[in-house]
Structure 1
Amino acid sequence: MKFTPGRVRPLPRLPGRALQQKARAALKQGEVIAYSTESCYGLGCNPLDARAIRKILAIKVRPNHKGLIVIAADVSQIRHLIRPLTAAQYAELARYWPGPYTFLLPASRRVPPALRGKHDKIAVRVTAHGEAAALCRTLGTALVSTSANRAGQQSLKTARACREAFSRRVLTLPGRIGKRRKPSTIIDLETGRVLR
């Protein structure tokens, strides 16, 4: 079944070409980037790079059993991260994506334990934030997406705050966060249960 994406609100401010190339190189080298999302700045990396994921967990001082969210520009960027879905399940996702809805989907064997934590499912979202979607498209990959902060502290909202907090541990990209003030809703696709 072909997945038809909804409207993505355009926010055309993308980092310059040199910075995009630097971000692409950083991901290939297992580094962490900070980028704007719907409600705050996020920390991200290649979702299949277990070493980079562990760096994010260390930066955040976050327990490794919780798992992390992955965002994408479209469903094609997450297909390799999930087990096959039915046409009806894709149709259900199409009702919500792109948008502020994160779904728990069955994780493929390729997903590192550091990404899914103690779960057999992975949390994924097709983002409606124009800059984040454009970044995923430009970099050619889905991205790990977790709030840029230490566990239990306020999420950072600007590139400047990220640069001050993380210094050279993270490549911070310029951007503008969206207007959403709450984190995304999390839904288990299989059970329909709303977890957040």
Structure 2
Amino acid sequence: MIITSDPLIIADLLKRGGIIAYPTEAVWGLGCDPQNQTAVIKLLEIKSRPMNKGMILAAGDKTHLSPWLEQLSPELGAKLTATYDSPTSWIVPDQGIAPAWVRGDHQSIALRLSTHAGVQAICHAFDACIVSTSANPAGLDPALSLEQIMTYFRDNIDAIFDVPLGQSKQPSQIKSLLDDQVIRQ
């Protein structure tokens, strides 16, 4: 396993199907290339998370969200790409853009335009969205430190992106883009 603060090394590992741990706005996340089915299935197995639940995709900037933005009205696109006081992931109609192994049983996808500099750096180096799911085995609290990542996943991930954790007090809220219904507070 590699521990690095170089986003180019992390992006290279993602392109080769690697699983990474990285800090987000509030908790550590696990990520991989959402287009790589083998990597996504491995990540789900590491977490003991069923595929049918679906996962969040994190973007570093608006360009990473362009396939979804092209299908939205300007008003909904503006809402998806706005900056909020707390991290917000939006449930967006997908229309087959994201692979089924990321969407789960849904015809929608959860997308977050991250404000965390580390997540942005990874996405810029990778030039795409990445899977963003909390770094914890099912039933355990999300990791808040590199030490917890090592305890949870030492032999099961390929790299740790060693940059500071964000200052948000809770993981992203999840809301429906179409009607603002809160899915997770």
TM range, smaller chain: 0.7 to 0.9
Does the CA contact (< 8 Å) of 2:19 and 2:39 recur in 1? yes
Higher strand proportion (structure 1 or 2) = 2
Which of 136, 139, 153 is 1:149 aligned to? 136
Identity %: 31
Aligned residues: 180
Q: Which moved more, 1:116-125 or 1:159-168?
A: 159-168
TM-score, with structure 2 as normaliser: 0.88
Q: 2 CA distance for matches of 1:101 and 1:122?
A: 13
- SS of residue in 1 equivalent to 2:33: coil
- 1:183 maps to 171
Q: Which moved more, 1:162-171 or 1:61-70?
A: 162-171
- The structural deviation recorded for 1:124 is 0.3
Gap regions ≥5 residues in structure 2: none
- 1:102 maps to 89
Does the CA contact (< 8 Å) of 2:12 and 2:126 recur in 1? no
For residue 15 of structure 1, what is the amino acid of its counterpart?
Answer: S
- 1:44 maps to 31
Q: 2 CA distance for matches of 1:80 and 1:52?
A: 22
Q: Which has the higher contact order (CA 8 A, sep 6+)?
A: 2
**Any residues of structure 2 matched to 1:1-196 within 5 Å, and which?**
15-16=5-6, 20-80=7-67, 84-96=71-83, 100-170=87-157, 171-196=159-184
Q: Which moved more, 1:166-175 or 1:39-48?
A: 166-175
- 1:11 maps to none
For residue 190 of structure 1, what is the amino acid of its counterpart?
Answer: L
Does the CA contact (< 8 Å) of 1:158 and 1:176 recur in 2? no
Gap regions ≥5 residues in structure 1: 1-13
Q: 2 CA distance for matches of 1:64 and 1:123?
A: 14
Residues 140-180 of structure 1: per-residue CA shift (max 9 Å, x gap): 22111011110110111122321332123211121211121
- The structural deviation recorded for 1:37 is 0.4
Does the CA contact (< 8 Å) of 2:40 and 2:102 recur in 1? yes
